[in-house]
Structure 1
Amino acid sequence: MRALNKKRVLVTGGAGFLGSHLCERLLEQDCDVLCADNYFTGSRDNVAHLLGNPHFELMRHDVTFPLYVEVDEIYNLACPASPIHYQHDPVQTTKTSVHGAINMLGLAKRLNAKIFQASTSEVYGDPAVHPQPEEYWGNVNTIGPRACYDEGKRCAETLFFDYHRQHRLPIKVIRIFNTYGPRMHPNDGRVVSNFIMQALKGEPITVYGDGSQTRSFCYVDDLIEGFLRFMAAPAGVTGPLNLGNPGEFTMIELAEMVIRLTRSASRIEHRPLPQDDPKQRRPDITKAKALLNWEPRVPLEDGLGRTIAYFRNRFFA
């Protein structure tokens, strides 16, 4: 029997890149952790080192189906987050965001549990406002190839706030900007993992368009710290809240940094820009600084060094 004062926390998508790091931190905070994942993009390997911990439980489950468990808090991270994966089955991606939100909100309502939604900067689409504050409503193509993810996450946010208003459910909604670090999927199609894998293989670094489009990159440890601070914030602090690194880099700058850090002989190769690819993406984290006293601390070069070491040891040892 678990101690009466020990918090039991459900993490959906807990065997994924972000989820596995979150499970680690929750265990460090002396929580009982229930990790649920259907392994579409997550992997048992990401949490294998936690399986011997008596306070960690791993369950194979798809959030598009109801889940009947007893927990105190819920972190809803379940959804493929890279274009290659979420465009593989776009209908299922929308279901994961929408049905998954409905099922987890229903569980939270039954338990009166605090629930956290991992939303995304993709709700801003190809932004006409830069950097993007939480008040910006976005510029999203509702029928484009990225809409299954963008609109699914937007609908999930709507559901969270309607449950909050209608049922007084305690919610926390985070909008995550580009995050990177160890345990990223090597073939997820996202720019950091793409560039690192290509550089380590000595293949051309594929840059889409002229490489002038920008992104902001937050190291995973910084992001998870933001998750935990936000979940611990007073009930009235619901979000949505941007979490990300306001440092802005062009794709060319990132490619050159990866080539230098890997000591690769790879050259840069330009490809056509994909449809609806945002030209710029940078968070306004004024609210996160004020509400959580949070801002990223890991510089891009340091974080890339740690991520490159992980990829090299995991896939090239």
Structure 2
Amino acid sequence: MPRLYESRKRILVTGGAGFLGSHLIDRLIGQGHEVICVDNFFTGTKRNVEHHHANPRFEVIRHDVCFPLKVEVDEIYNLACPASPPHYQHNPVYTIKTSFLGAMNMLGLAKRLKCRIFQASTSEVYGDPSIHPQVESYWGNVNPIGTRSCYDEGKRSAETLFFDYHRQHGVDIKVARIFNTYGPRMHPRDGRVVSNFITQALAGEDLTIYGDGSQTRSFCYADDLVEGFLRLMASDTAVTGPINLGNPGEFTMLELAEQVLRLTGSSSKITHKPLPADDPKQRQPDITQARVKLGWEPKVDLSEGLKSTIAYFRNLA
């Protein structure tokens, strides 16, 4: 008897109750797929996915990816890991375990099921880069024993596992290196610059800039990034990555602060504090591979994305 929905897949999303995981689940559910959301709620929140709870094609499993998981699925998106400095530095040993053991357990599952698996890697693998913008062939400039290393090196070791499972066991892998991303459902206390500035501006507090504000970042809106995830996952088997996904538009921290103040209408001032250890001075993706191999590039400009993000944070108050 033929299946009713030939194109429907059963898809596992680890870290599915997090900021990016929940946006990905929205898209997958919207495409008609069945989704299993796996999260231990260390940084994710049930609020991000509660609008799907009545949907028979959606399921939540509370589980820590540091331990094996036995499910039957057609695809795996591995997004599980604390991703902001305050969260991943809160328990650094757990952070690196989540990156490495989580990758190993999900790769083992993909190997058993013979299914495609996506890894949410990060621009942090480039460390404090000595080339600008960053291309995928660049090996990075990372401090292996610094306070950020639990995340940087955790993600680098996860990439190693993915490519070794691909070469040794033929696992069908897709690896994306995610650059700074923002949008609704960001954790208000995740310590990232966009959420910091917005929450401070809405509360009438001074906006905190670390250093002189000349350091730069590139900000990609969540909807654009998820589109990149889906295109990479649907690409030809030969396209394994790693592929940079991010917005090449570059802004200084001072420029971002001024935009947030303008869009919130806040009268907050800007204050400066010392730059944290190993904080990158520049971060900008070269997205040539994404443009050529995926036909992808971001569409939402910073001002438009900030308006939606600010509206979300206003509703949290």
Q: Which amino acid aligns with 1:119?
A: S
Q: Which amino acid aligns with 2:69?
A: L
Q: Which amino acid aligns with 2:63?
A: H
Q: Which blocks of at least 5 consecutive residues in structure 2 are unaligned?
A: none
* Residue 149 of structure 1: aligned partner: 151
Q: Which blocks of at least 5 consecutive residues in structure 1 are unaligned?
A: none
3-state SS of paired residue (1:172): strand
Q: For 2:4 and 2:99, how far apart are their aligned partners in 1?
A: 33
3-state SS of paired residue (2:12): strand
Residue correspondence of structure 1 range 126-165 to structure 2 within 5 A: 126-165=128-167
* Residue 280 of structure 1: aligned partner: 282
Matched, 1:168 2:170: yes
Q: For 2:128 and 2:190, how far apart are their aligned partners in 1?
A: 21
1:313 deviation in Å?
1.1
User: Percentage identity across aligned positions?
Assistant: 73
Residue correspondence of structure 1 range 302-313 to structure 2 within 5 A: 302-313=304-315
* Residue 22 of structure 1: aligned partner: 24
1:29 deviation in Å?
1.0
Q: Which amino acid aligns with 1:259?
A: L
Residue correspondence of structure 1 range 111-126 to structure 2 within 5 A: 111-126=113-128
Q: Which amino acid aligns with 1:154?
A: R
Residue correspondence of structure 1 range 184-263 to structure 2 within 5 A: 184-263=186-265
Q: For 1:3 and 1:177, how far apart are their aligned partners in 2?
A: 39
* Residue 105 of structure 1: aligned partner: 107
Alpha-carbon spacing, 1:262–1:163, altered in 2? closer, same or farther (3 Å): same
Q: For 1:179 and 1:211, how far apart are their aligned partners in 2?
A: 19
Q: Which amino acid aligns with 2:107?
A: L
Corresponding residue pairs, total? 314
1:225 deviation in Å?
0.3
Q: Which amino acid aligns with 2:39?
A: D
Q: For 2:150 and 2:190, how far apart are their aligned partners in 1?
A: 17
3-state SS of paired residue (1:87): helix
Match of 1:75 among 54, 74, 77: 77
Q: For 1:240 and 1:52, how far apart are their aligned partners in 2?
A: 36
1:4 deviation in Å?
6.7
CA RMSD of aligned residues (A): 0.8
Residue correspondence of structure 1 range 30-69 to structure 2 within 5 A: 30-69=32-71
Q: Which amino acid aligns with 2:179?
A: F
* Residue 294 of structure 2: aligned partner: 292
Q: For 2:148 and 2:110, how far apart are their aligned partners in 1?
A: 29
3-state SS of paired residue (2:244): strand
Render the CA deviation track for 1:182-234: whole Å, top value 9, x for unaligned.
Answer: 00000000000000000000000000000000000000000000000010001
3-state SS of paired residue (1:264): coil
Q: For 2:4 and 2:87, how far apart are their aligned partners in 1?
A: 40
Q: For 1:4 and 1:210, how far apart are their aligned partners in 2?
A: 56
Q: Which amino acid aligns with 2:310?
A: I
Q: For 2:297 and 2:276, how far apart are their aligned partners in 1?
A: 31
Render the CA deviation track for 1:85-104: whole Å, top value 9, x for unaligned.
Answer: 00000000000000000000
* Residue 183 of structure 2: aligned partner: 181
Alpha-carbon spacing, 1:12–1:135, altered in 2? closer, same or farther (3 Å): same
Q: For 1:300 and 1:143, how far apart are their aligned partners in 2?
A: 34
3-state SS of paired residue (2:60): strand
1:181 deviation in Å?
0.1
1:177 deviation in Å?
0.1
Q: Which amino acid aligns with 1:310?
A: Y
Q: For 1:124 and 1:4, how far apart are their aligned partners in 2?
A: 42
3-state SS of paired residue (2:49): helix
3-state SS of paired residue (1:58): strand
Q: For 1:79 and 1:295, how far apart are their aligned partners in 2?
A: 25
Q: For 2:4 and 2:123, how far apart are their aligned partners in 1?
A: 38
